Amino acid sequence: MTTLKDLGEQGLLRRLAPFWAAPHPGVSVGVGDDGAVLALTGELVVTVDLLVEGVHFSPTTTPPHAVGWRACAANLSDLAAMGAAPLGLVVGLGLPTETTVAWVEDVYRGIVACNPVPIVGGDTCRAPHRTLSITALGQVGKGRAFLRSGCRVGDVLMVTGPFGGSRAGLAVLQDPDRYQNLPSWATEAVIRAHQYPVPRLDAVAPLQQLPQPVGAMDTSDGLADALVQMAQLSGVGLVVDLTQVPITSATRLVAQEQALAWALYGGEDFELLVSLPPASPVDYPLQLIGRVVAQHPGEVRDTQDHPITRMAAFTHF
């Protein structure tokens, strides 16, 4: 297997050129100069995520193609949560010299497979651990960004899809023997949910049709974390009907009695949590899970008035 040490930096850049060489109407200057130049209308939205092997992914649960996909999905999900349309990606890669070129190419293939916009720039350097830094650039109309602080009393809380699948997939990948008697359609579905989560860019245009920008956040750190953050940043109370949180039958089969806990605290499902006026006409399949109230500002409660906290959310240190 050819490694980066065999190939050198210039050799690696030549091998990666096909991933970013395509001209694109919005890109005036792409990879190969000191920076990239992009045209945009409205305002610029920018997000960044750093992923480190051994912390955010491991070879046993995430093949390189899925590493690229997930890194890209996490950033595009942040753009979707802001109500933005993607413009381009900037990819930073820190790699040990013994990394194979095949690994790097598979990461890039995963990025391209997930991603509707061009890779406009990047930086590649030596590092003791495989590290990905992805910056996503998007555009949004002036004053049209979806904010975490955008919940208003009287709004309903909607979500774009099911929760807990990514956490269930991780469980199967980490301990396959334990789940070997489950039907393969179920284990394959949750593994796919873990390795290839879909950022909800398709929900942006339907939600941007509404007269006022909605409140929104993605649920990458878990649904409970998103609920608490939106309650706190909006200064409102949220009441959630936990029986309405969507969970697939595949996730229920794997998770059993932990299904709701994984839905609330598992994270990395990349569905959007949206706050908008009741009966808003949105051409997108949203699921109603709760409502925004004036009582208990900053807090989230279920319909029995029990508090929901972000307690089990993933903490980085």
d(CA 295, CA 92): 45
Pick left, alpha or beta for residue 3 (phi over 0 → left; psi -120 to 50 → alpha; otherwise beta).
beta
246 binds a copy of itself (CB under 8 A): no
H/E element holding 276? strand 272-276
28 binds a copy of itself (CB under 8 A): yes
Distance (Å) of CA 19 to CA 47, 101, 111, 115: 21, 14, 9, 12
Pick the piece of the chain touching a copy of itself (CB under 8 A) from 88-96, 154-162, 184-192, 295-303: 88-96
Stretch 145-204 residues interacting with a copy of itself (CB under 8 A): 145, 147-149
Nearer to a copy of itself by Cβ, of 92 and 246: the residue is 92
Q: What is the DSSP string of 73-117?
A: HHHHHHHHHTTPEEEEEEEEEEE-TT-BHHHHHHHHHHHHHH-SS
47 binds a copy of itself (CB under 8 A): yes
d(CA 127, CA 62): 20
The residue type of 41 is: T
34 binds a copy of itself (CB under 8 A): yes
Interface residue with a copy of itself, options 25, 211, 256, 317 (CB under 8 A): 317
Stretch 197-236 residues interacting with a copy of itself (CB under 8 A): 216-218, 233
Pick the piece of the chain touching a copy of itself (CB under 8 A) from 51-59, 167-175, 184-192, 282-290: 51-59
Stretch 102-131 residues interacting with a copy of itself (CB under 8 A): 120-129, 131
Question: Taking the CB of residue 309, how many other CB atoms lie within 10 A of it?
Answer: 14
Pick the piece of the chain touching a copy of itself (CB under 8 A) from 135-143, 160-168, 201-209, 255-263: 135-143
Nearer to a copy of itself by Cβ, of 84 and 276: the residue is 84
**Cβ 28 to a copy of itself, closest distance in Å?**
6
Question: Taking the CB of residue 94, how many other CB atoms lie within 10 A of it?
Answer: 19
The dihedral over CA atoms of 218, 227, 216, 160, expressed in degrees to the nearest 10, equals 60
85 binds a copy of itself (CB under 8 A): no
Pick the piece of the chain touching a copy of itself (CB under 8 A) from 38-46, 105-113, 166-174, 247-255: 38-46
d(CA 197, CA 190): 10
**Cβ 206 to a copy of itself, closest distance in Å?**
18
